[in-house]
Amino acid sequence: MRWVRDRNARELCQTIGLNAYVQACNDRIEHLSQLQTPVVTRRGFWVWLLPLWRWLRSWLRW
């Protein structure tokens, strides 16, 4: 069902003259879908979560 929606969106963009923009968007989406590393790495997740947890824990001790 997704391909029908994508096809309809492409046809609409072609009708109103956005072919170049649609192709650039498709290329970027394809590039992002091929990346193997997650957008948020585990290390990046813990870098902001641990200080937040420490702050929350100290705040609750009051």
Domain range for 39: 2-60
45 and 36 Cβ atoms separated by less than 8 Å = no
pLDDT tens digits for range 9-60: 777 777 777 667 777 777 777 777 776 666 666 677 788 888 899 999 898 8
Check residues 2 and 58 and name the one with the higher pLDDT: 58
* pLDDT for position 21: 72
* pLDDT for position 4: 66
Half-sphere exposure of 62 (CA within 13 A, CB side): 4
* pLDDT for position 24: 79
Check residues 23 and 1 and name the one with the higher pLDDT: 23
- Radius of gyration in angstroms for the set of CA atoms belonging to the chain, rounded to a whole number: 21
The DSSP secondary structure of 16-59, one letter per residue, reads TT-HHHHHHHHHHHHHHHH--S-SS-HHHHHHHHHHHHHHHHHH
Q: Structural domain tally of the chain?
A: 1
13 and 21 Cβ atoms separated by less than 8 Å = yes
